[in-house]
Amino acid sequence: MMSGKQRATGHKIQPAARQVIRNFKGGARRIVGLWVLVGLLLVLASCLLASTTNPPEPSGTLRWSLEGVADLTSLDPALPADLQSNTVINLVFGGLVRIDQNLRVRPDGAEKWRISADGKTYTFTIRADLKFGDGTAVTAEDFLYSINRALAPETASYGAPELLKHITGATDVINGVKPTASGVRALDDRTLEIQLNEPLAYFLSELTYPHTFVVSRTLIEKHGDKWMEHAYGTGPFRVVEWRHNQYIKLQANPFYWRGNLGIAAIEIPFLPSITESYELYSQGELDIIGNIQTGLSSVQVNKMRGSPDLRTVNALSVRYVGFNNRMAPFDNADVRRAFALAVDKDALTQQILAGRVKPTDRILPAGMPGSSLPINGETFDPIAARAALGFAGYPSGQALSEITLTYSKDGENAAVAHFLQQSWYDTLRVNVVLEGLPLVEFIRRLDQTYREPATGLDMYLSIWGADYPDPQNFLSQQLRTNSPFNNGHWSSPEFDELVRQADQMVEQTQYRERLSLYNQAEQIAVSEVGWLPLYNPQSSILIRPTVQGLVLTPQGIIAPNWTQVRIEEHT
């Protein structure tokens, strides 16, 4: 959800980053002679007499940076790893459905679908004009292949086996018993049926995440391990060059089902920090910088305030502290509660983050369905914090072994970590050691904490942003017992039962009851400090006014229709 990286020093642009941008710059401009202009006028005149229904050819190149990574972790939809990789995956590949700018599920590769009365069977009609980026027609068999590939053990997908396990027969594929899940069937070239072993209210939303995006079997078998270097799908773009640890170049997919794109190409450099991308943007080298997790700093926002380039949104995400519930002292709820009560979130957000974020005592971010229902949170209370630590058998922090807070060294995490460190010492007299890591290493250590908690992190400053806008993505997926996303191994049988019931309520008439069940589960997780929520980030990015047709949403940048995106030529 979240790479080794070399950071910029001050505001000085590193030579390597300059070279990345320099490599993008093309050759000499061509001079157009008078006879060519005459020819063009004749062509234009003939076009006016002809039908005007055909969209114009793509033109212009969008320069869009990805910060915080040295390279993409993966371009395989079955192996989505972090926001940066997912950004490019969504530009190249497509699925049955998509999320629109209003965060609603809309048709993509499937033009329509129907759901059975029991909520277990979904029948999708594949678009007749759906093609891969090489012009090959896409059929229901391609989706069947892609879903089973994501489940197969040899693919080693981290998330697909968990997220898609409710498909009938999926566990047989996950365990290597069968090559295909019995619940996924191609009824004919244009009809795909997916059968679940239980109703899931969030299933369509879940399908907007890359795991079920369609991939070309021909492409994968032709290029083997190198297929991602030549990647194409049903998305608006296809890969033309991936220079690892520098950049990736995409070109418009001429077979995109919606028609001709408004732009011809996207050039995406990988930059270590928002500082470096900001400097390049200031010099006219980039068109878009920042993302929903790594936005502009407070200083940068203040410099750009009032500029039409500046776009700001309240992200569907929560910055939080997670605990290793399998190891002392955080296997004790009173210790976790003491650490939660010792943090003044108002001071954190005002003094460290300049009031650009909203403090929160809950897990669901503002704007997520269910977030308007009340929660009693653990608010700043030094006396109660010291009492809770005493109840746990550690008065004044005595007898506590060394505790480390681990975080990724991106954005303002270091400043937040230092604030937390000071808060816990001032209130609890507990000395906490700070460990800042590159993002990729931080993610690796989180995974290790899930797999081997005895050698994992003590506690960690992390963030979770919505994969899709449903409470299940924050509650059931993140905190249910034995979920592979539950890195800290917090567990509550009562919580598990509440979210199980809520997950299966598919009828619209049960919508309020479903949110009520999630609310009860969230209250348990907050009271037992499954997480220590800190604040909901507000993300600020820069998009040049010369770019039209892109929308910043709480889940990131979305193009409602790539055929309508335009960019003025760079001077």
The whole-model pTM stands at: 0.83
d(CA 208, CA 96): 8
pLDDT of residue 399: 86
Phi, psi (deg, nearest 5) at residue 113: -155, 165
Query: Do 249 and 324 fall into the same domain?
Result: no
Please name which of 321, 326, 330 lies closest in space to residue 450, comparing C-alpha atoms. Answer: 326
- The reply to whether 571 falls in a domain is yes
**Of 160, 191, 220, at which residue does a domain stop?**
220
441, containing H or E segment: helix 439-451
pLDDT of residue 5: 31
Query: Do 326 and 308 fall into the same domain?
Result: no
Domain of residue 129, CATH code: 3.90.76.10
Rg (CA), the chain: 25
Query: Do 273 and 364 fall into the same domain?
Result: no
Report DSSP state, residue 167: B
pLDDT of residue 31: 32
- The reply to whether 31 falls in a domain is no
Q: Where are the beta strands (DSSP E) in 127-246?
A: 184-188, 191-195, 237-243
Query: Do 285 and 168 fall into the same domain?
Result: no
Q: Retrieve residue 420's tokens.
A: 């937390």
pLDDT of residue 571: 60
Please name which of 138, 132, 118, 263 lies closest in space to residue 191, comparing C-alpha atoms. Answer: 138
Phi, psi (deg, nearest 5) at residue 61: -120, 125
Buried b (16+ CB within 10 A) or exposed e, 103-139: bebeebbbbebeeeeebbbbbbbbbeebbbbeeeebb
124, containing H or E segment: strand 121-126
Query: Do 436 and 499 fall into the same domain?
Result: yes
Residue type, 356: R
- The reply to whether 503 falls in a domain is yes
d(CA 311, CA 178): 49
d(CA 260, CA 236): 9
d(CA 310, CA 538): 13
Domains contained in the chain, number = 3
Query: Do 355 and 294 fall into the same domain?
Result: no
Helices then strands, each counted (H, E), the chain: 18, 24
pLDDT along the chain (571 residues), means of 10: 33 47 44 37 40 65 94 95 93 97 96 96 98 98 98 95 96 97 98 97 96 98 96 98 98 97 97 93 97 85 94 94 97 98 97 90 94 96 97 91 92 93 97 93 94 97 93 97 95 98 91 97 98 94 97 94 91 60
Q: Is 68 left (phi over 0), alpha (psi -120 to 50) or beta?
A: left
Query: Do 255 and 170 fall into the same domain?
Result: no
Domain of residue 379, CATH code: 3.10.105.10
**Of 194, 220, 246, at which residue does a domain stop?**
220
Query: Do 410 and 518 fall into the same domain?
Result: yes
Query: Do 204 and 245 fall into the same domain?
Result: no
- The reply to whether 380 falls in a domain is yes
Report DSSP state, residue 400: P
> Strand 121-126 relative to strand 191-195: parallel, antiparallel, unpaired?
antiparallel
- The reply to whether 37 falls in a domain is no
**Of 156, 191, 220, at which residue does a domain stop?**
220
pLDDT of residue 27: 38
pLDDT of residue 440: 82
- The reply to whether 79 falls in a domain is no
- The reply to whether 225 falls in a domain is no
- The reply to whether 478 falls in a domain is yes
Residue type, 127: R
Q: Residue 160: CA atoms inside 13 Å, Cβ hemisphere, count?
A: 26
Domain of residue 268, CATH code: 3.40.190.10
Query: Do 495 and 557 fall into the same domain?
Result: no
Query: Do 492 and 552 fall into the same domain?
Result: no
d(CA 148, CA 166): 13
Q: Residue 465: CA atoms inside 13 Å, Cβ hemisphere, count?
A: 21
Q: Where are the beta strands (DSSP E) in 316-469?
A: 317-323, 358-359, 403-408, 432-437, 459-465
Q: For the packed helices 382-391 and 413-428, what is the interaxial angle rounded to 10 degrees?
A: 70
Query: Do 547 and 532 fall into the same domain?
Result: no
Q: What is the dihedral of CA 523, 524, 529, 532, to 10 degrees?
A: -30
Q: Structural domain of residue 154, as residue ranges?
A: 94-220
Chain CA centroid to CA 488, Å: 20
